[in-house]
Amino acid sequence: MARTTELAQLDLNGIYTYADYLTWQFDDAVELIKGKIMTMSPAPSSEHQGISWRLSGLLFNYLKNKPCRAYAAPFDVRLYDRKKSIVANQEIYSVVQPDLSVICDAAKIDKKGCLGAPDWIIEILSAGNSKKDMQIKYRLYQESGVQEYWLIYPYEKAVHQFVFDEEAGKYPLLNMYAGDDIAVPQLFPDCRIDLREVFESEGE
């Protein structure tokens, strides 16, 4: 298959697979959601990166000596129809790069990233990606079986916590945290995240 070196060579209305994604060699950061190309926002703000860095540190300390691992973007997560037991690159139509992914099944991790749904995904909203994370990715993660999904609102200093309901097959909103709250992931009830630490201003 021919290599693609510029985003302009692709049909943004076309449908692509992970096999196609592997041939792309351009600088533009993109995700693939149900076969559709989604361009990513320009480099994140210092505030966005600060939140990601602080959360990464908190999760690193919590997960030490535990079987789960946390990965920060850029990190490819390949999502597929969970009813299929065997997947090939040609059958994967969604490749995303969550801000933070927590994966407890080591068998899902390979040299290319994660194959299958992480247990917990955290997305930090920015001006250019709010609709994608709030609507498109919300549905994708729900359908793919991600157990817990957090949306972080940097400017409001808030966190929305969604936990997958297996019977309903949906994500009800479990909690809305803000300010100086202690946020607790349902997957890890003994993990207490002080939002004052997460949202501390740069330079403080």
The model's pLDDT over 175-196, given as tens digits with 9 standing for 90+, comes to: 999 999 999 999 999 999 999 9
Whether residue 112 is contained in a domain is answered as: yes
Phi and psi angles of residue 118, each rounded to the nearest 5 degrees, phi first: -60, 160
Quick: pLDDT tens for 64-93: 999 999 999 999 999 986 666 556 777 899
* pTM greater than 0.85 (yes/no): yes
User: 184 with 146, same domain?
Assistant: yes
Please give the DSSP secondary-structure letter assigned to residue 131: H
User: 193 with 102, same domain?
Assistant: yes
Instruction: Indicate the range of 46-50, 112-116, 146-150 predicted with least confidence.
Output: 46-50
- The pLDDT assigned to 88 comes to 74
User: 71 with 159, same domain?
Assistant: yes
User: 144 with 174, same domain?
Assistant: yes
- The pLDDT assigned to 204 comes to 45
Radius of gyration of the chain (CA): 17
The token duo for 64 is 């030490």
What are residue 124's DSSP bridge partners?
152
User: 63 with 115, same domain?
Assistant: yes
User: 61 with 21, same domain?
Assistant: no
Q: Is 29 exposed, middle or buried (0-12, 13-18, 19+ CB in 10 A)?
A: middle
Whether residue 204 is contained in a domain is answered as: no
Q: What CATH number corresponds to the domain at position 153?
A: 3.90.1570.10
User: 89 with 72, same domain?
Assistant: yes
User: 130 with 147, same domain?
Assistant: yes
Whether residue 203 is contained in a domain is answered as: no
3-state SS class at 148: strand
User: 90 with 17, same domain?
Assistant: no
Whether residue 1 is contained in a domain is answered as: no
Quick: pLDDT tens for 94-122: 999 999 999 999 999 999 999 999 999 99
Whether residue 2 is contained in a domain is answered as: no
- The pLDDT assigned to 164 comes to 94
Mean pLDDT (the chain) is 89
- The pLDDT assigned to 90 comes to 74
Q: How far apart are CA 37 and CA 50, in angstroms?
A: 27
Residue 57: domain span: 46-198
- The pLDDT assigned to 80 comes to 82
In the chain, how many domains are there? 2
pLDDT at 203 over 50: no
Q: How far apart are CA 35 and CA 188, in angstroms?
A: 33
